[in-house]
Structure formats: structure tokens, C-alpha cells
Structure 1
Amino acid sequence: MLQKITLLSLFICVSCCVNAQTNNLSIEKIMQDPRWMGTFPSNVQWDEHGEALYFKYNRDNDPSDSLYRIRIKSPQTIEKVNAKEVMALIPAGGSYNKARTKKIFGKDKNLFVYDLKKREQTALLQMENPVGSPEFLADENKIAFQAGNNLFTYSLASGQLRQVTSIKEGEADNKKEKEVSPKEKWLREDNLELLRVVREREEKQETSKKYREMVSEKEPYTFYSGDKQVFNLKLSPDEKFAVFSLRARGDSKRTIVPNYIDASGYTTDLNTRTKVGEETTKTELAVYNLQKDTVYMVRTDGLPGLKDLPDYVKDYPDREWEPKEREITISGASFSPNGKYIVVNIRSRDNKDRWIALLNPEDGSLKNLDRQRDEAWIAGPGIGWSMGGGILGWLPDNKHIYFQSEETGYSHLYLLDVTTGKKKALTSGNFEVFDPFLSKDGKRWYLTTSEVHPGERHFYSMPVYGGKMEKLTSMTGNNEVSLSPDEKHLAIRHSYSNRPWELYLRKNTANAREMQLTSGQSDAFAAYPWRDPELVHFTAADGTEIPARLYVPEQDVKNNAAVIFVHGAGYLQNVHKWWSSYFREYMFHNLLTDMGYTVLDIDYRGSAGYGRDWRTAIYRHMGGKDLSDQVDGARFLVSKQGIDPKRIGIYGGSYGGFITLMAMFKEGDTFTSGAALRSVTDWAHYNHGYTSNILNEPFNDPEAYRRSSPIYFAEGLKGNLLIAHGMVDVNVHFQDVVRLSQRLIELGKDNWEMAVYPAEDHGFVEPSSWTDEYKRILKIFNTTLLKN
């Protein structure tokens, strides 16, 4: 559906297509199936012996990526793995014994053990349900695993299988009491009073029942979960306790997304997510005391600050706020290696607190070890978002736990002694830590950080109790490292700003050199001189230095017009030195620069990679600092790059589409044109997990939603606006732009158009859709920003 197309637009469309064809790049070329670019490795993993690397690749131009292998002894040879070999591979998941001589894993309904010395795989048993989460117990002759809703142990020595928990769905028969209406109750009592025989038989049955209960043996204990889902079952290494989570899903209203081009020929409905504020799922953590044969719930009433009110309540003085225990989510439990201690990770449902607590399995009580409080919202690398997660584990000494925290403003790695409560920071500085893990002997850390530069990622080694970090990668850009099982080699998936991902091999020593294993660029892709955008900073109105990527055209083609790109996801980084996940947009920026445009790509406030204060700068006001950063970027282009202030456009998708709408509605004197793709138009209609972190809930903090939602500012549209959206978008629903379009119609705005894509979800798939969308983006910029 197209709302407005002017004759001038049609004229310029033809003109811009001709211009694009004079360049080496065109919309059709860069938006075609990405396989034209070549093939690039993904999903890298080692074999169990560190002798070969496996990865997804597409050297032979198959319909989809296949599994390939490189043997370390012959690194120049890339082999395609046949289907039979794929089936025989040991899965990446599973668990090892301490000596790492045996690995156990589940595959479908089977439990397997792999002997690394003998290189033999043995099927141990087959269950009625899929086998999950197998682990060696303290007695390494025993394995614990989950099947269905219960935990089992298996003895490698005797082959004995034992079910250690008895958990069933639904209610116990004696708990199922049929509801009786007042009428039915009266009829029964009246009947018993009138008819002696019936009354005597009832009394006899009740007497017999009580006698049987008195003389019969006690039935084995069974825990009934009712209508709650059982998950995360774990057995303590000493086999004394089990813990498990219970999830109760509320009856939340979900949004329907119609699919108008279903294969059936009928319009079908996609039942998608709820809206923010309607998340009613609740979780509990239960302890199964195997010695006492009973189950009880973990008690959270002793957590410090559980009744704390958020700071934003002061903005609603007319409302009465009652301090009460907040709802929490317990994401699971972690046992010390010897089973003596249990720690749990807890999040408040209002996203303001994270507790790490010691669980007493004898009574289900908690002792707080660390409380992380953020008046905005708890998040950051290794910390997770609203539903829990994050780094949490044990050192081999059975008394230190490790986790990440933004206590200093950046996410760093910490140790905490559960016996003393003493906490120690292992890393520090104005950088962030990613994906730390222990060496197999437990004496060193391996971790990735941004210490060199916010736009670089490097891999390090560090002593387990802290000390100097040893840098183990040297290539500028992003280094995604997979360590070999014997810890002798690093497999590195590396990319740079203008070079897509390739696979490298390096010995695990500080001075080793990387060896390139793959070279996947096609001739057609490699023929174009892709730009290495300049990383720059400009000063925002509040004095903050804002990072950006700048694409500058040659002076002889410079047209003094500019385009600002706004990345999506909000909490994402795009000003960096590696190959962007926005590779189509990157290629489009090269095309725009060829045509004479200057392009600016900003890591605005709210973006990832710059610490807690940057992340939370948009709290309760999306479209605040994140929008003013775009405005200040436009001023930088005018003052430093010679751009005409009347010839600046802006575009982006998802969160970038939202910012584009806010820019066009609130900053019409700065931006002449904008293209808003798959945009959020009203945050009260987006999902709960993301939105409630940043804006709280709409019925509790309506002010935050009103100042953050473009639909409330549509009357401010001055420039030229393109709206593009997939009609089967189950993330940002098509309803968002439908509501906005009606608002624009009612306001009498006539300088906007909308393109819809019946076959597309949030992330477009079809090259034809990408091509159509970006032709329209290029058209609106050429039409409105270029002078005759």
C-alpha cells in the first residue's frame, strides 16, 4: 500500500536508478541473496581431541550451509563432512569427569558415554523421554540426568538405573475435589436424611476407608506440580538434595497477527506475544529433600531490599505507593563441586535488583551474598536481562563463586568467598568483560574484553585469583575464540570493518602468529574496494563524546548531502572494527558514498559496549539522549564536513525506525527526510521483557511511555517520511504502523508514504523485499536531498 507518490518522486526514481547503474554497486546487486558475497564460516567447534575444526560453510554453493572440517595436521585442506560422519559426531553438549577421560551426553532418548582414551562411544540406556543435562556426581561412577519431569541416576559400575525423584503433573487424586453447587449439596444432604439405607452405606464406606488407611503401608511420596511446568532439575553431587524450577503461565492476552498470503488461500491468524505489562508468568524454586522424602519452596522473604520502591514513584505524588514484597524470578541453582553449598541467582520482576544468595536446602531459606541494585535496570555483559541468566559458577576450591557485576560502571569479573562473604574484583577499568571460563585444570581464566578499544575484542588468559592478563590475539577487529580441548590451539573467527569473517588457527602462546584457514570472498565481492569507515567522535550538547563511523565521498563527487544511519536493537554496538551484522546497510552506505553522500553511523546513548551509564542513559525516556545524539551528529556533519543543513536524511530499522520517527516528528528542522523501517510507534504495544526494563510498566509509569512513543508526536511531521513494514512481523507488529498511519491521516499530513511487505517478518528474508525497500529509501533521499 502506497499512501503518497508524487510525479517528482517518479522522475527522481528513474534518475537515481540510472545514477546507481553508473557505479560498480547497485541496489539490486547488494540486496540480492547474500551468497553472492561468498561463504564465511560460522558455528565453529573442535572435535573431542583437538585434532580437527568443524564449522558451517558453503564452498559448493549448496542450497544451505553444510558441515565442513579442517584437520590440524593439514590446515590447508577443507573437507566437506558427509551425512554418515555428521551422525557419528560427538555432540558439543554434555559433561566430563574431572580427569576429562570420559564424556557423557544425551541424544534424543538415549544416554551415551564417550571414552576419550579408547575413542569409543557406548550407548548406556534408552529412556521413554528425552535425556537432558547429564552430569557426573561426586562419585564419578554415577551419572545424574533428567528425563521427563524426574531425575535419575545411572551407575557406570553396575549398570543400575534409579529414579531419585517422583514428580508428576496435575493434582493427587485425593486433592481433586469436585466442586459442588449449593443445589447439589442440598440434594445430597436431603437424600441422606430421608433414606436410611443410603445413609448407612455411606457411613460404612467411610469407616472402611479410614481402616484401610490405618493398616496399609504409607504410599511413596510424590510431588504433584499441578498446572505448573517443571524445568531445571538438578541433583546435588552428594545426592542428598535436588532442586527444580516451577513455572506458572498466567492467562495473558496475546496479539493476533494476520497472515494474508497463507498457502491455504485463507487469511490465517498468528498468535504472537503479549504487550508490555501483561507478563503474568511466575517462577518458583523448589527443594526436593531426598533424605526426608519431601518438597518445599525456597523462601525469598529474607532478601534485603525486597520491599524497596523505585525512585520514579516520586514523579507520581498523587498516587499512594504501598511498599510490598516484589515478585522475583529465580533462574536456577548452582551446586559447589562437593555439594556442600548451593547458590542461586535471583532477579526482581521490576528489573531493579539482582541477588546472589546461598540456599540452605534443609529449610529453603536464603542468605544474601551479593545485591546488585540499579534504579534504571540490571543488565550488561555476563549479567543478563529481566528473566535472569548471567555468569555464575564455582571454582574447584568449593568455596569461591564467580560472577559479573556493573558495580564500577562496567561489567567485570568477581570472586566471592561464600564462607566469609569477601568479594574481590578480578578485572577493572573502563572496558567490559565477555564470556569468561576456567581452564580445564581450574588454574586460569580465559576471557574476552574490550580493553584495547571499545570497538575491538581480544582474547586473554589470567590467573584464577587475579593478576596480569595475557593477550592471546593480535589481529585488529573482533576475535571470536574457540579453545581446543587440550588448550594447545585457538580457533579464531575474525573479521575487520571491511572484511567478513574468516577462520584462523593459532597456538595458545603469547607470541604465536595466526594462520588463515579460509578465504571465502567471491570474486565479485572482492572486486569492489569496500571502505574502512573512519572511527570518529563528536561532542554532544551535554559535553559527552559520541562515537561514530564516518563515510566520506571523494571531493569530486561530494554533493553536500548526508544520511545518518540508526542501528536497531537499542542495546547493540555498530561503531566497531569488525564486520557488521548490518552488512546490507554497510554496502548501501558504500553506494551512497559513491554517489556523493556523506554517511554517519552513530553508537548513540543506549548502545552496547560503553558501560552502565551509556546503557541506561535512555531510562524512562527513549527518544531523549538517543535522539539528541542524532541531532548533534547532524550538527557535526554541518560544522566539520561541510554538509548543507537542509540536506540531511535519517533512516534505520526496528529501534532505528523508532528513532527515525522521533527525529521526523520532533526534529523536523534538522532532518529533511527519513525512512522508518519496521518501527515501534507506541512502546505500550511492544513486548514486556525488553520494554519494562527501560520504561517500567505503562500503568505504573505512563509518563515514560508518553514521552517515548512517536505516535504522540506525529503532529510535528514537517519533512518527507517513508514508512516500511512487514505485514507478518511478530516482533514489532504491523498494527504499530497501521495505528500511526491513521493518526497521520487524521492530522491531515500528506508528506508521507507507506510500503508494506505481505511476506515479511521483522527481519526481511526475500531479496525482492530488500531490493524494493532500499530502492524506496534511495528514492526518497535522492528526491528530497539532492538539488537540480
Structure 2
Amino acid sequence: MNLLTRNLALGTLSVAILSACASAPITPKPQLQTTSSAVELTAPPKVGQQLTMKQIMANPDWMGILAKQAYWSDDSSSVYFVRQAYGSPLKDYYQQAVNGTAKKLNIADYHLADQRDGVFNIENTKKAYLYQGNIFVKNLETGNVEQVTKQNRRISGVRYLSNGDLAYWQGNQIFRIHANSGLIEQLADIKMENAPKGVQQPSTYLAKQQQRLIKYVAKQHKDAVLKEQFNDQLAKQDPTVASKAWYLGKNNRVVESSLSPDGRYLFVAVVDKNYKWRSEHDIMPNYIGKDGYVDAVPARARVAEDKYPGQDFMVLDLKTHQKRAITIEGLTGYNQDVLAKVKAENAKKEGKAYDSEKTPRKLQLMVDWGWSQSPIQWHPSEDKLLVMIEAVDNKDRWIANVDLKNGRFSTEDRLHDDAWINYTHNQYGWIDDSDQYYFLSEKSGYSQLYLKQIGKPAKALTKGKYVVSEVTVGPRSQYLYYKANKTHPGMYNVYRVNIASGKSEQLTNWKGVLDYRLSPDGESLLLTASTRTRPNELYVQKIGGELKQLTNYTSKAFADYQWQAPEVVAVPSTHGAGEVYARVYLPQGFDKNNADKYPAVIFNHGAGYLQNAHYGFSGYFREYMFHNLLAQQGYVVMDMDYRGSKGYGRDWRTAIYRNMGHPEVEDLEDGVKWMAKNANVDAKRVGTYGGSYGGFLTFMALFTEPDLFQAGAALRPVTDWAHYNAPYTSNILNTPDVDPIAYERSSPIEHAEGLKKPLLIMAGVLDDNVFFQDSVRLVQRLIELEKPMFETAIYPVEPHGFKQPSSWLDEYNRIYKLFEQNLKK
């Protein structure tokens, strides 16, 4: 499958992220007051109505069914977006003119709508896309759409070749549609089998004797040889015959494949087909099966059992029918023992010595989790190939130049991190048809944008203590557009940098959080943007012009309520972390000089690597409303971006390496101190709660600093990192067989004896992310430790992210009760 199109949506509208550039520069001055630890807190506005738990935990459609997945039409005159009711399996698609109103699309017109994903011919006059597994081509000059295929066997990828032909994928077979004749040619038939041996010469005594003595047998062998030779000649000389099949081995499975612009070369990554990401030993029981029985649901493998073998890479020359395995020796550090110190530390603990030795490392293609792009980047018009590869041990990322004729990698850029390579901020690609490419890298400590030519040093296009993401190449190779939080870690805006001069300019002045799409004509930006009190809406802004709101789907009931805009404050660290950013919600009638001190709650966001102390609307919208309710009830609430959170650079991210749950708890401790000093909080009446990683952090706080909080609630919590998945956990803690010290240091179940304060554990039985077993094992551990101060609530039909409003309501009623009983006087 062509990686450039591997994410084409089947059966839904797809989006083409089009790159274009603007001509009118704009240099607005940011209007921003940054916060500090000396912030003067003021009382929030008084509200007329009281929030109820049932309202804020209800079906969130009451807040409004918002526009999502927005993108530009091909002619830049309108936008398309999706609206989907909560819990509905179906989406509604809309088109809205920039100067008009939204119109819901009819199902019969879906295939005619401008698609989100697509590929373009080299002249940029035609766009090919997939809809319901078939190929459609749109003429961008006339707007006419032509259906190219109509079949039940789904096509999985499509691309334009440099001569205007279309290539497409069906499984491991690749076809070419000749533009001048409509002929369908099979370019590659890939079989996951061992190559047939062909006609073999007799090798045993009996076989040789049979041919020597029996003329009939000898003639059969001779005829078979002649036929085989003729078929080989036929394949090479007869232009009407399809190319021979490729045999890549019965023990392999294709991970990704990508075709060169001229259709000659196919880059392929394979993995051992015997590798399974599902557990071989376990299932997840569904006690509420539809037939009344317990359903055995397959479960993913745990990091302690997941042994990913790495990938092998090859180039198939479709013209000469030669297969070349790609050697990795050209990757700097390909055989370095990057875990030598970790292994030596663990060996020493066991009274052993570790002898370091060099050995080839396991590698795999790298895909940026934060941006839908391919790790395989062909030059638009030449047989030049760049591939982004990472080590399975998570310590290196390479941009490699591929020698197609000799099958070799050579290092273009190596990013090494003694902790782990970030799984976001890896976007890169050619700058149109030039000989330059851009890439993001954290080599400076922050994700910044770089420009490079093959074999030459990289040039930094951005510099500073901020994070760059979402790069878009403008037309004519003039600008690179990007998003960054330059003025404040919690505020994001759109910028562009002139590729030739290196000069950056700010294009938006949004005081919140946003994502953007550049219009195909390069003249406008489509923004999906929010503030602290208002969810995402769509906006359009001409480059250099005024911002225009396009949608208004937030409900009147939600918009009319006077939600508190939490203050974003910088908490000074007493543990060497500098400043820790946090949101603070204040009680009604807040008075920092009041003789009666306030109770407080600290919320711990999930994911670990996630940002929530920003100026946009929180993705934790239920928690946001719950925090408003707590403030109405007299609580101060803090929502902290503890160390490990996103948006603050490499050192902040990796502060938890081999030590999860300890730096973060130090930050929570500083949060309590800050509230006591600045928000009139009683430090002896503070509770904490959170879900997923936030539930893990709740455990670590109550277990390792038992006097810090008076109560805690852990939702869908990780209790033992050896039971979590490999891709996430091995980044931070390596693997249990290599680094058991890190797992014992970082897993709550290893510290459970420290529990002294009331604890509420809540988990969904159908959680296929953090298994219900995590909570079961910890409960048994607490029982054996004779800890009476915990309670457990289970939710039989819920996955990791709860679905049923009744479950949300039950969960948060229990959390509220926990705080009322333990934090109020």
C-alpha cells in the first residue's frame, strides 16, 4: 500500500491536506500578559443558577453537536465538516460556503463532495481519491468527477505517477491504469510465500540413474527445463505479459509499501508474521454478553510479554525484477549498546557484571502520532527516497537516504535521546519539487523546524523555548506554515517562515488553542479554535485579514451559563523544575484574606504526555464542568501540567524517565503549597483524583506521600506498568526484562503499603486499554496488606473512556461524596 495514501478513509469523506501559500504578509503584535507565581487571584463572577451533577454528566449533546474534522474545498470557497451525535455510529457531513450557511450533504452526493484525503497529479490539475473502496478522479479545472473503478473488492491506496498514470493497491497487489489507453497493468504481485524452486536437477543416485536409463523420464525433465526457460524469456520480451510474482517469504508480513513516482521502485517493510500484538495467554471477560454468557474478548499483549521483532526493509526494482535487501550499516549508531548503563545498573543489583557489546539493533518505520503523514517520502519527480526509521529500543530516530540501486541506508539526520525519542513532532517531507526537505526535531530541547539538502548540514528555521508542530508546505516553495506556542506555553497560533530568508511572521492572534488548515489557494486559514470557556468552533481568516466565525454549534443552554475561566498560573517548583503551569478554579465569593480556609482538589490529567493547563477549552469537558461545580460548593480546584506533560519541551517530557510517578508527585506537592500561600487553602484538607495516567498518579501520591492528600479517587488506573502496552511503556521505562528497577520504582502496586488515607478505585470491566485486572490485582494486594481505607466501584459495560451517562453520573457522585466526607469540616 502506498504510504502517501494509506490513511484514505473508506466509506466516508476523506480529507486532502492541501499545501498552499499566501502572498500578503502580516506581522501582528501578540497581545498577551503572561502569568507568574505572583498572580493576583480575583473572585469569579457570581452565577445565577446552580450546577447539578446530573446535568454535567448527561449526554454531552446538550452542550451542542460541534463541527469536527474540518477541511477546505478544492476551490477554497467553502469548507466541509462532520457532526456526530454522542454515541451515534453515524456521521452527518456538511458543506458551508465561507460567506454562506451550512448545508447537510445527501448520501447520494458523498462521492461527489471534495474529499479530505487525495493525491494530485504533477501538474496539480487532477485529484484522485478513494470512496467506498473505489477510485474517483476530480478534474480541478472543471470540477467534473469521474468514477474509475466499480467493484466489490476494496482498493486500499492510490497515487499518481509522474507521467499521469494512476497506480493503486489491492492487498499486496499493485496495478497501473495507463492514462492514454485505460489499460490496467499489474505492476507487482507480492506473495508471502517462499519462491518456488523451479525445475531441479536430479541430486540423488536413484534420480540420476532414472534419467540415465529411462529416456521417457529424461525427456520429461528436458521439456520442463525448456518450458521454464521459455516462460522466463516470455516475461522479459513479450510486452503483453504481466510481470512475474514477487516472493517475500512465508514467514513475513508486509507492514508498508510505497511506489516511486515513475513506478519503477517499490519500497517494502516487512515483519515476522508470527509476531502477534494480542496476548497469547489472556482474554478480557465480558460479563454482560448479549447472549447471557461470559464472552471471551481478545486482549492486547503486555509490555512484559510483547517481543516485537523489528522490521526488515527491501527495494523491489519492478523494471529488472531484482530484489535488494537494504543494509542498515549506514545508520550512525545502528549497533550501539544504548542501554549499557541501564543493563549494568540492573545487573549490579543482582550481584552480576554486565559486559557491553555491539550488536545490530531492531528497527522499524516511524510514524508521527500527532500528524497523519508517511515515514516514507519519495521526491515528487525523481527517484530519491527518504525514510524515517526508529530503533525499537526508542533511543534513536534516523532520517535515512535510500540507495535504491545498491540497497543501502545512509544517515541524513540522527536524533538520539538517552531517555526516549518523542512519538510526536517527527513530521518531515520534501519541499515540493525542490532538492530540499524540512523536518521537526527536538535536538535543541524543543521541537523546532529545520531545512536540509541531501548530504548537507541542516539549517534551523525556528529557534526558541517553544514547540513547533503541524507543518504545511506552501506553494512555489516560498513558505512553511506551522503552529507554535511562542508567547505562552498554553497559547497556540499559526506562523509561517520564509524558506529563503528564514524570517518568521505570526499570522493569527488567538488567545486560546487552535488547529489550522491552509486553503488550497494559499490565501486563507481555516481554524478550529477554542477558549477556556467556549468549545471548538470553526473560523476563517484571510492572511492579513480579519477573523470570521464560521460555525456556532455550542448550545444556548451551555453558552448562557457563566462558566468560570480558570486562571492559568505558574507554580514555582521547590524541586528544581522551574515553573509548573496549572489552571486554578476559585470558589464563589473567593476572599484570600478570609479567616476560614478553603478545601481544595487537584485534578491529574491522563495520558501523561498531554497538555491541559492551556487557554483553550479542555478536552476533559466533564471534568471542567465538575470543577465549576466544586467551586460553587466552596472548593479551590487545581489542574496541573506536572512533569511529563506536553507542550514544554524535551527535558520536561523526559523528567519521568525510569522514574514515573515521583517527579509528578513533587509537582503536586508544590501545587498544594502554592494554593495554601496564594488561594487561602487549608493544606490539611486537599484531595486529588484523575483517570488513566491521572489514576496512576493518584495512587503514587497516596502511596508514596501519604500525608500530602486527605483522600484520592483513581479512575481506570494503571497499577502495574508491566501490565500496560509496549509502545507507550517501553519508551519511558524500557522493558521489564531489561530494566526491572524502573518498573519496581514506578508501579503503584510496589508501593501500596504506604496507603493511609481514604482511596476510591473505579474501573470499567471492558477496559481494553488499562485492564480491569490492574485494579483487581491492587485490591487483592491492599486486602493482604490489611488496608481498610479503600473502596472499589466497577462498571461492567464500560471501556477505558466511559460511554454511558449513567456510569459517568455514578462515578462522579462517588468522587464528590469522597471529597465532601473527607475535606469539609
Q: TM-score, with normalisation over the residues of structure 1?
A: 0.89
Equivalent residue of 1:272, what SS?
Answer: strand
Q: What's the CA shift for 1:473?
A: 1.4
Aligned counterpart, 1:532: 565
**Distance of 1:500 and 1:80 partners within structure 2:** 22
Report the Cα distance in structure 1 between the residues aligned to 2:615 and 2:93, rounded to whole angstroms: 28
The answer to whether the 8 A contact 1:103-1:114 is kept is yes
- Is 1:91 paired with 2:134? no
1:473-508 deviation digits (Å, cap 9, x = unpaired): 122111222222222222221110111111222212
Secondary structure (helix, strand or coil) at the match of 2:148 reads strand
Q: 2:124 & 2:390 partners in 1: Cα distance?
A: 34
Alignment equivalent of 1:498, drawn from 530, 533, 540 = 533
Structure 1 position 256, deviation (Å):
1.1
Distance (whole Å) between structure 2 residues aligned to residue 576 and residue 738 of structure 1: 35
Is the Cα–Cα contact under 8 Å of residues 150 and 233 in structure 1 kept in the other structure? no
The change in CA–CA distance for 1:202 and 1:564 in structure 2 (over 3 A counts) is farther
Aligned equivalent of 1:271: 298
- Distance in 2 between the 1:715 and 1:494 partners? 45
Q: How does 1:189-200 map to 2 (within 5 A)?
A: none
Residue deviations 1:332-385, cap 9 Å, x none? 5322123232111111110000111111111211111111100000016422xx
Deviations 1:66-89 (CA, angstroms, capped at 9, x unpaired): 222221242xx2322222233432
Aligned to 1:415: 451
1:520 pairs with one of 528, 545, 553: 553
The amino acid of 2:264's aligned partner reads K
Which ranges of structure 2 fall in alignment gaps of 5 or more residues? 1-46, 236-243, 367-374
Matches within 5 A, 1:92-241: 92-126=116-150, 129-139=153-163, 141-174=164-197, 205=217, 208-209=220-221, 212-214=224-226, 216-219=229-232, 220=235, 221-225=244-248, 226-241=250-265
**What SS does structure 1 have at the residue aligned with 2:402?**
strand
Q: Contact 1:550–1:599 at 8 Å: present in 2 too?
A: yes
User: 1:406 aligned to 2:432?
Assistant: no
Q: Structure 2 counterpart of 1:362, which letter?
A: K
Q: Please tell me whether residue 299 in structure 1 is matched to residue 323 in structure 2.
A: no
Deviations, residues 721-767 of structure 1 (Å, cap 9, x unaligned): 00000001000000001000000000111110000000000000000
Matched residue pairs, number? 740
Q: Deviations over 1:532-563 (max 9, x none)?
A: 11111122222321111111112379762110
Q: 2:22 maps to what in 1?
A: none
SS at match of 1:482: strand
1:364 counterpart (391, 404, 407)? 407
Partner residue, 1:3:
none
Aligned counterpart, 1:28: 54
Contact persistence 1:32–1:771 (CA under 8 A): yes
Distance 1:743 1:103, change over 3 A: same
> Where does 1:428-467 land on structure 2 (aligned, <5 Å)?
428-467=463-502
Alignment CA distance shift 1:747-1:58 (3 Å): closer
* Secondary structure class of the residue paired with 1:698: coil
Determine the structure 2 residue equivalent to 1:6. Answer: none
Give the fraction of aligned pairs with identical amino acids, expressed as a percent: 38
Mapped partners of 1:707, 1:406: distance in 2? 27
Asked if the contact 1:151/1:235 (under 8 Å) is kept, the reply is no
> 2-side partners of 1:767 and 1:109: how far apart?
35
Provide the C-alpha distance between the structure 2 equivalents of 1:58 and 1:436, rounded to a whole number of angstroms. 28
Q: Which amino acid aligns with 1:560?
A: Y
Q: In structure 2, what residue type is equivalent to 1:399? A: D
Secondary structure class of the residue paired with 2:743: helix
Alignment match, 2:691 = 653
Equivalent in 772, 784, 788 of residue 822 of structure 2: 784
Q: Does 1:551 align with 2:585?
A: yes
Q: CA deviation at 1:243?
A: 1.2
Which 10-residue stretch deviates more, 453-462 or 746-755?
A: 453-462
CA contact (8 A) 1:559 1:596 kept: no
1:570 maps onto 2:608 in alignment? yes
Asked if the contact 2:718–2:770 (Cα under 8 Å) also holds between the matched residues in 1, the reply is yes
Amino acid at match of 2:538: L
Change in 2 beyond 3 A, CA 1:712/1:763: same
Aligned residue for 1:768, secondary structure, equals: helix
After the TM superposition, which of the residue ranges 114-123 and 756-765 deviates more from structure 2?
114-123
Which digits, 9 at most, give the CA deviation of each residue in 1:25-56, with x for residues without a partner?
A: 11111000001112221111222212221212
- After TM superposition, list the pairs within 5 Å mapping 1:204-353 onto structure 2: 205=217, 208-209=220-221, 212-214=224-226, 216-219=229-232, 220=235, 221-225=244-248, 226-252=250-276, 253-254=279-280, 255-277=282-304, 278-309=306-337, 310=339, 311-316=341-346, 317=348, 318-320=352-354, 321-331=356-366, 332-353=375-396
Alpha-carbon distance in 2 for matches of 1:412, 1:197: 73
2:716 aligns with one of 678, 682, 699: 678
Give me the whole-angstrom Cα distance separating, in 2, the residues matched to 1:166 and 1:267.
Answer: 43
Q: Tell me how far apart the structure 2 counterparts of residues 159 and 727 of structure 1 sit (CA, whole Å).
A: 54
Specify the code of the residue in structure 2 equivalent to 1:212. A
Contact 1:23 1:594 (8 Å CA) reproduced: no
Indicate how the Cα distance of structure 1 residues 283 and 205 shifts in structure 2: closer, same or farther if over 3 A, else same: farther
Aligned 8 A contact 1:482 1:491 in 2: yes
1:22 to 1:109, Cα distance in 2 relative to 1, 3 A: closer
Q: Aligned in 2, Cα 1:62/1:730: closer, same or farther, shift over 3 Å? A: closer
Distance 1:490 1:462 in 2: 15
- Residue 599, structure 1, aligned to residue 627, structure 2: no
Does residue 715 of structure 1 match 2:750? no
Shift of residue 122, structure 1, vs aligned partner: 1.5
Q: Deviations over 1:613-654 (max 9, x none)?
A: 000000001011112111121122223322222211000000
**Which secondary structure state, in structure 2, belongs to the residue aligned with residue 724 of structure 1?**
strand
More deviation in 778-787 or 121-130? 121-130
| CA shift digits 1:664-704 (9 cap, x unpaired) | 11111111100000000000010000000000000100000
Q: CA RMSD in A?
A: 2.7
Inter-CA distance 380–427: structure 2 relative to 1 (3 Å threshold): farther
CA distance in 1, matches of 2:811, 2:86: 30
Distance in 1 separating the partners of 2:259 and 2:540 = 39
Identify if the C-alpha distance between structure 1 residues 169 and 129 changes in structure 2 by more than 3 Å, giving closer, same or farther: farther
- Of structures 1 and 2, the one scoring higher in RCO (CA 8 A, sep 6+) is 2
Contact persistence 1:381–1:433 (CA under 8 A): no
2-structure distance, mates of 1:397, 1:766: 50
Gaps spanning 5+ residues in structure 1: where? 1-20, 178-188, 384-390
Q: Secondary structure at the match of 2:58?
A: coil
SS at match of 2:582: strand
Deviates more, 1:690-699 or 1:539-548: 539-548
**Larger displacement relative to structure 2 (713-722 or 459-468):** 459-468
CA distance in 2, matches of 1:121, 1:521: 35
Aligned-partner Cα distance in 1 for 2:527–2:360? 47
- Structure 1 stretch displaced more, 643-652 or 43-52: 43-52
> How far did 1:281 drift?
4.6
Check whether the contact 1:343–1:359 (CA below 8 A) recurs between aligned residues.
Answer: yes
Q: Contact conserved, 2:472 with 2:518, CA < 8 A, in 1?
A: no
Letter of the 2:405 partner, please give it: E
- Alpha-carbon separation, structure 1, partners of 2:517 and 2:332: 39
Describe the shift of the 1:56–1:176 C-alpha distance in structure 2 as closer, same or farther (beyond 3 A): farther
